[in-house]
Amino acid sequence: MTIRPKDFTKVVHAGVEPDPRTGAIMTPIFQTSTYVQEAPNVHKGWDYSRAGNPTRDALEEAFAALEGAKHGLAFSSGLAAEQAIIQILKPGDHVLVCDDVYGGTGRLFRRLFAKYDIHFEFLDMTQVEQVKAALRPETRLIWVETPTNPLLKVIDIQAMSALAKSKGALLVVDNTFASPIYQSPLELGADIVMHSTTKYIGGHSDIIGGAVMINDTKLYEEIKFVQFAAGAVPGPFESFLLLRSIKTLAVRMEKHSINAQAVAQFLQGHPRVAEVFFPGLSHHPQHALAAKQMRGYSGMVSFNLKGSYEDVVTFLQRLKVFALAESLGGVESLVNHPEKMTHASVPEDMRRKLGIGPNLIRLSCGIESAEDLVADLLEALR
């Protein structure tokens, strides 16, 4: 499992050209809402920053380069990116969604878009036959998050792509957990890739953002129209911060994954830990698939702690390096309690069925020293 050497180079240069006017090596922050025109609708290519902004244009090129896509689109959050994808559908359409998605994704589909008569069906996509059986003539999208949040199930992108194609549906992959460094869904047959760039792509817990990457130009134009017409775009400063972050994405991912592997192996051997979820462990049910479709296992580890909920809270409060907070993918390590935090909006019966209970803890391993992370966990497990 290794990062492709060319990806270290790609991330440094993705989307960025020296500024033609000044030679500035970094893309300037074009902090402007509008552009002066020579005559009505005669201008230098930009007329209004909801439609386009040079800093955002550079970011969108960088997004495309990261996923090896023809086109990239930037949004003001991961959920705004998801919303724009769903808004290409029409009432009556059917969407198959993997059961273990980020709580906010499920909430967007169940509570907002279900009102517009779009039918979302959640199911365990590690079971390919079940997905096949659930396809209907009106199925327009198969929505996959892999690895999943928070249980780190791994879904076969090629198998899902074949099923989508058999019905003329589109395959969307939320690639947030793997990052473009460790997984390339478009190469495996996905039609649309999306990211919460709040996570690994941003990497410093200081921005909220989203990305969509696509090869098909017609599909790109459809989603770009939603971006323009509805307007959930990032500002120039956020766009600049993301361009800056992308340069270190490969080196950060390498350290995140080394740390997560060390943390998962440590937890697996600890007597107070009941079960560890990490695709890089040989006992993980989809370990072989992960080894095939990913180039690394990324930085997320979940586990069940033995004992009562009070024991879990004591453990969370004892941690010093891991901060108790929502989100993931930043340079600093975070710990999250999915049942009460990120996945509180998942219906209770679904949470129970999935195994998101009071004892489940999710770790986002940062880029600190692996020894310090393990020592922090060991001390909190005393």
Candidates 59, 60, 85, 102: give the one binding ligand P1T (CB under 6 A).
102
Residue number, 54 or 213, with CB nearest to ligand P1T: 213
Q: How far is the CB of 184 from ligand P1T (least distance, A)?
A: 17
Q: Of 232, 183, 179, 177, which Cα lies nearest the Cα of 208? A: 232
CA atoms within 13 A on the CB side of 285: 12
Among 55, 77, 239, 261, binds ligand P1T (CB under 6 A): 77
Does the footprint of ligand P1T cover residue 79 (CB under 6 A)? yes
For this structure, is 56 an active site residue? Answer: no
| Tokens, residue 58 | 């550079």
CA 88-146-144 angle, 5° bins: 30
Task: Please tell me what DSSP assigns to residue 100.
Answer: S
* Distance of closest approach, residue 76 Cβ to ligand P1T, in angstroms: 9
- Mention every residue, 6+ apart, whose C-beta is less than 8 A from residue 112: none
- Compare residues 27 and 77 and give the one whose CB is closer to ligand P1T: 77
> Which segment (90-98, 99-107, 123-131, 217-225) binds ligand P1T by CB under 6 A?
99-107
Could you confirm whether 136 is annotated as catalytic?
A: no
Cβ contacts of residue 78 below 8 Å, gap of 6+? 102, 104, 176, 194, 195, 196, 197, 198, 199, 208, 209, 210
Q: How far apart are CA 11 and CA 96, in angstroms?
A: 33
Residues 288-327 that bind ligand P1T (CB under 6 A): 326-327
Taking the complex as a whole, the smallest distance from the CB of residue 34 to ligand P1T amounts, in Å, to 27
Shortest CB 327 distance to ligand P1T, Å: 4
Give the whole-angstrom CA distance, residue 223 versus residue 118.
17
Q: Is 102 an active-site residue?
A: yes
User: What is the identity of the amino acid at 332?
Assistant: E
What is the smallest separation between the CB atom of 382 and ligand P1T, expressed in angstroms?
A: 27
Residue from 15, 72, 185, 210 in contact with ligand P1T (CB under 6 A): 210
334-336 and 323-324 strand pairing: parallel
Q: Is 174 a catalytic residue?
A: yes
End-to-end Cα separation, the chain, in angstroms: 33
**Could you say whether residue 259 binds ligand P1T (CB under 6 A)?**
no
CB hemisphere CA count around 29 (13 angstroms) = 11
Site for ligand P1T in 320-349 (CB under 6 A): 326-328, 336, 342
Of 35-43, 61-69, 131-139, 171-179, the window that binds ligand P1T (rule: CB under 6 A) is 171-179
Q: Catalytic residue positions?
A: 50, 102, 174, 199
* Footprint on this chain of ligand P1T (rule: CB under 6 A): 77-79, 102, 104-105, 145, 149, 174, 176-177, 196, 198, 208, 210, 326-328, 336, 342
